[in-house]
Amino acid sequence: MSSWINLYNISYAIGEFLMGIVAAILNFFGQWIGPLSDFADWLMSVNVLNLVAILIGGVVVMVFVSIINLFIIMWIERKMYGRIHDRRGIMLPGPWKKTHKGTGFLQNLADGMKLIQKELIVPKNADKWMYDIAPAIIATTSILAFVAIPFSETFYVANINGGLIFILAILAIAPFAVVLAGWSSNNKFTLIGGLRGAALMLSYEIPLILSVIGVILLSGSLNPIEIVQAQQQTSVLGVENWYIIPLFPAVIVFMVALFAELERLPFDLPEAEAELVEGWLTEYSGMRFGLVFVSKWVRTYAGAALITILFLGGWSGPVLPGELWFIIKSYIVFVIIVWATWSFPRSRIDQIVRIGWNWLIPIAIISIVIAAAFKWVGWF
């Protein structure tokens, strides 16, 4: 893994090349118009090139996360729960066979196009401004989480020192938008859904963060890249030091809390479709609904990526490139999440609060103690 082939360097080179063309053209006209040459010099300065490189890198990651990757995970989920249900799932739109054996890979694109064409209905007495802003908050914060999630040592948008805190913080904004949407829609079902979202947040946000503390203790860092690098060292067991081994209770807690965070099925109380129609989403239509719906998958993938980084050794693995290993691992975690989602009934709000406080928090604290003990002994 040579250190110079990273996303930043590649996008710097691309930026330099593109800016060079622009500067050459400007210089050509600069023979007659003086200021253009100065402008070309400014464009070729290091600061501007840095900015361009970061922008290009960001666009690459975002395009990957929000388009290519998103289509793949949506397809995986829809195909997989189709199979769990003993049906074939989506099969018609797609580049390959148009029969029941088809993959239906482009079904989500077709659904998205349908949603874009639909009318955006705003309830008469809704708080228009809050009603509009809530899906935008959810969508932006979901995608923003990927700013700090590295796909490999070299494939990332920003290497933030407190990256883990940033990811957890930005993922925790969405429940606030849920309350906002539930209140502003001016509907009793959405109100109950929004308040359930608030109650849910109280019960899972604490164990989610507590379960991460063990990782922070062992790795001694809040930077996702350094956390993964700490896991790549060989442990007492003679294999790579993935934190899933010492911190197994924390993985369980993190997974369970993640289901609540993602509003997935055992804990999808804010949008329980059978009891509250669609919960806080009831009044949303068209692409507003589409944004929220798609953000759910983006957030699920963010959760799977977080588990991969924190507990599964990130991009470490033999032969294949690191990025590929990261994607393989995170897809496996995603498949586990989908599997659990479609096997369980929905729990009740008092039950999940009780699970959160009676089980998840004590287990998370035990895992912190385990981590501290290992750190003290010096095993991991």
Helices 188-219, 248-261: crossing angle, 10 deg rounding: 160
Report the Cα–Cα distance between both ends of the chain, in Å, rounded: 24
Site membership for other proteins, residue 198 (CB under 8 A): no
Site membership for other proteins, residue 346 (CB under 8 A): yes
Q: How many residues line the site for other proteins (CB under 8 A)?
A: 30
C-alpha span between 184 and 43 (Å, rounded): 46
Alpha helices of the chain — where are they, by DSSP H? 7-30, 34-43, 46-63, 70-84, 107-117, 128-148, 163-171, 174-184, 188-219, 224-231, 248-261, 286-311, 322-341, 349-355, 361-377
The single residue among 26, 178, 192, 360 that binds other proteins, judged by CB under 8 A, is 192
The single residue among 75, 105, 146, 189 that binds other proteins, judged by CB under 8 A, is 189
The single residue among 147, 164, 208, 276 that binds other proteins, judged by CB under 8 A, is 276
Nearer to other proteins, 43 or 198 (CB): 198
Site membership for other proteins, residue 348 (CB under 8 A): yes
Region from 137-145, 293-301, 322-330, 346-354 binding other proteins, contact rule CB under 8 A: 346-354
The single residue among 38, 118, 273, 328 that binds other proteins, judged by CB under 8 A, is 273
Pick the closest to residue 131 from 194, 173, 192 (CA basis). Answer: 194
The single residue among 188, 233, 236, 328 that binds other proteins, judged by CB under 8 A, is 188
- CB atoms near residue 23 (< 10 Å): 20
Nearer to other proteins, 80 or 372 (CB): 80
Smallest distance from the beta carbon of 335 to other proteins, in angstroms? Answer: 16
Site membership for other proteins, residue 45 (CB under 8 A): no
Site membership for other proteins, residue 358 (CB under 8 A): no
Instruction: At 234, give phi and psi (nearest 5°).
Output: -80, 135
Smallest distance from the beta carbon of 169 to other proteins, in angstroms? Answer: 29
C-alpha span between 57 and 32 (Å, rounded): 35
The single residue among 344, 358, 369, 373 that binds other proteins, judged by CB under 8 A, is 344
Q: How far is CA 238 from CA 99, 241, 242, in A?
A: 50, 8, 11
Site residues for other proteins, window 237-266 (CB under 8 A)? 265-266
C-alpha span between 27 and 41 (Å, rounded): 9
Site membership for other proteins, residue 359 (CB under 8 A): no
C-alpha span between 176 and 168 (Å, rounded): 14
Nearer to other proteins, 98 or 188 (CB): 188
Region from 160-168, 184-192, 284-292, 297-305 binding other proteins, contact rule CB under 8 A: 184-192
Q: Which amino acid is at 221?
A: S
Site membership for other proteins, residue 277 (CB under 8 A): yes
Site membership for other proteins, residue 272 (CB under 8 A): yes
Site residues for other proteins, window 52-91 (CB under 8 A)? 81, 84-87
Q: How far is CA 282 from CA 111, 178, 182, 274, in A?
A: 18, 12, 9, 12
Count how many residues are written for the chain: 380
The single residue among 17, 345, 377, 378 that binds other proteins, judged by CB under 8 A, is 345
Nearer to other proteins, 265 or 371 (CB): 265
Nearer to other proteins, 264 or 288 (CB): 264
Say if residues 347 and 269 touch (Cβ distance below 8 Å).
yes
C-alpha span between 57 and 157 (Å, rounded): 6
Say if residues 113 and 104 touch (Cβ distance below 8 Å).
no
Site membership for other proteins, residue 194 (CB under 8 A): no
Interacting residues with other proteins (CB under 8 A)? 81, 84-87, 188-189, 192, 195-196, 265-266, 268-269, 272-277, 342-351
